[in-house]
Amino acid sequence: MKPPPQNSDSTPGESCPAPLASDDKILLAHGGGGRLMHQLIESIFRPAFQNPELETHHDGAVLDFPSDKLVMTTDSYVVQPLIFPGGDIGSLAVNGTVNDLAMCGARPLYLSVGFILEEGLPVSTLRTIANSMKISAQESGVHIVTGDTKVVAKGNGDGIFLNTTGVGAAHPFLRSHPDQIQPGDAILISGDIARHGIAVLAARENLEFDPPLQSDCASLSSLVQKLIKAKIQIRCLRDLTRGGLATGLIEMAGSSKLKFTIDENRIVVHEPVQGACELLGFDPLYIANEGCFVVVVAPDDAKRAVEILRKEQNSSVPDIIGKVEKATSPHVVLKTSVGSTRVLDMLSGDQLPRIC
């Protein structure tokens, strides 16, 4: 996030812009590489993301790595509304990329961030989002070490789009991948499902529920690191974002060429979320989460892994929800709460767009 050089050839009558006020709005000039961009970086981004790597003021970050294997991932965020109950696009961007690293068994270390700002975005909104990113990065133990800012004309964006790229230190022995899953393994879930997607939809459509719905947007890194530290035999991790629990399990079953059987009675959907899904005609199994994951572990470690997750979550919600079996064709079977069975299939599209 190197600041552009100061413009030294200002014409008479031009003066250095005043510090950004909370009621200012983003101008095209904020992306022009001149004084306004410099001011934006110095007043918002640098105070929010301050760390030794960023303070080199260079074109790129020079990084130390405590591992000979790196994990790298990238994702873009276009959620609407920008701020929703339980989070905003900033916390979503940091936690989402941190969680992708965590699902690879990596310890997240560094992030880059690309800001695409729309002309007219209130500076106060940008400041709120940057501060949210700061808090989420601190909670995850990652540094935001480099970035980029562009401004597009009014009408050509939707307030703000973010791209975050993350790198982390791979564990020397853990390989989290569907091809590690074996018949007899246990399937565990870390939390309740469907809160993020329904909370964002409710905020977007001004739907009110009692009690109000909150996204589960959160970092999963510390939970995964606890399992690794306890030497749980982890086969595969998967965060349950777009497509929710059902899609995550279907993808893993397909890649491992095995059958997954899960029990609906062991999957928690909080009552207001369940009520909203019934009212709106959504299946909570397919609704996105941003703070929940499944982990497939060796059967002998399943109960111990649940105990660790419950202790860390301070909740009884984490549970063993199913098992892995041999099969002639990979698929996922749900044992329903009324005693029947249902084969879960991939949806043809996304139930809820613009939720991440």
Let me know if residue 356 belongs to a domain: no
- Helices in the chain by DSSP H: which ranges? 35-40, 46-49, 89-103, 123-140, 195-204, 221-229, 244-256, 271-280, 302-313
Count CA atoms closer than 13 A to 228's CA, side-chain side. Answer: 21
Residue 9, pLDDT score:
40
- Rounded CA-CA distance 194/172 in Å is 33
Please tell me the distance from the alpha carbon of residue 291 to that of residue 310, in angstroms, as a whole number: 14
**pLDDT digit string (tens) for the chain, length 356 residues:** 544 444 434 444 444 445 676 569 999 999 988 999 999 999 999 999 999 998 888 889 999 988 889 999 999 999 999 999 999 999 999 999 999 999 999 999 999 999 999 999 999 999 999 999 999 999 999 999 999 999 999 999 999 999 999 999 999 999 999 999 999 999 999 999 999 999 999 999 999 888 889 999 999 999 999 999 999 999 999 999 999 999 999 999 999 999 999 999 999 999 999 999 999 999 999 999 999 999 999 999 999 999 999 999 999 999 999 999 999 999 999 999 999 999 999 988 777 889 99
192 and 136 within one domain: no
Place of tokens 């400041």: 127
Residue 309 lies in a domain: yes
Dihedral (CA of 201, 206, 207, 212) sign: positive
Preceding peptide of 85 cis, ω within 30° = no
328 and 235 fall within a common domain: yes
Give yes or no: residues 145 and 47 share one domain: yes
Q: Measure the N-to-C terminal CA separation of the chain; round to a whole number of Å.
A: 24
Can you tell me which residue has the tokens 């974002």? 241
Same domain? For 83 and 228 the reply is no
What pTM was estimated for this model as a whole?
0.92
Question: Is residue 8 one of the residues assigned to a domain?
Answer: no
Domain boundary at 143, 170, 197, which? 170
Give the separation between CA 59 and CA 336, rounded to whole angstroms. 55
What is the rounded CA–CA span in Å between residue 100 and residue 238? Answer: 8
Q: Are 160 and 286 in the same domain?
A: no
Domain end (from 170, 205, 228): 170
Q: Both 186 and 133 in a single domain? A: no
CA distance 81 to 209: 17
Domain extent for 72: 25-59+66-170
Question: 112 and 157: one domain?
Answer: yes
Q: Tell me, what CATH number does 202's domain have?
A: 3.90.650.10
| Counted domains in the chain | 2
| Predicted confidence (pLDDT) per residue in 197-214, tens digit | 999 999 999 998 888 899
* 303 and 157 fall within a common domain: no
- 116 and 46, same domain (yes or no): yes
Rounded CA separation 212/164 (Å): 29
Which residue, 48, 231, 76, 287, is CA-closest to 165?
76
Instruction: Enter the tokens of residue 112.
Output: 């880059």
Contacts of 355 (CB under 8 A, 6+ apart): 79, 196, 197, 200, 201, 242, 288
Task: Quote the tokens at residue 236.
Answer: 């595969």
Say which residue the tokens 């893993």 belong to: 252
Helix (H) or strand (E) holding 146: strand 143-152
Whether residues 132 and 260 fall in one domain = no
CATH of the domain at 166: 3.30.1330.10
Residues 6+ apart with CB under 8 A from 57: 2, 3
What tens digit of pLDDT does each residue of 137-182 get?
999 999 999 999 999 999 999 999 999 999 999 999 999 999 999 9
Contact 269, 166 (CB under 8 A): no
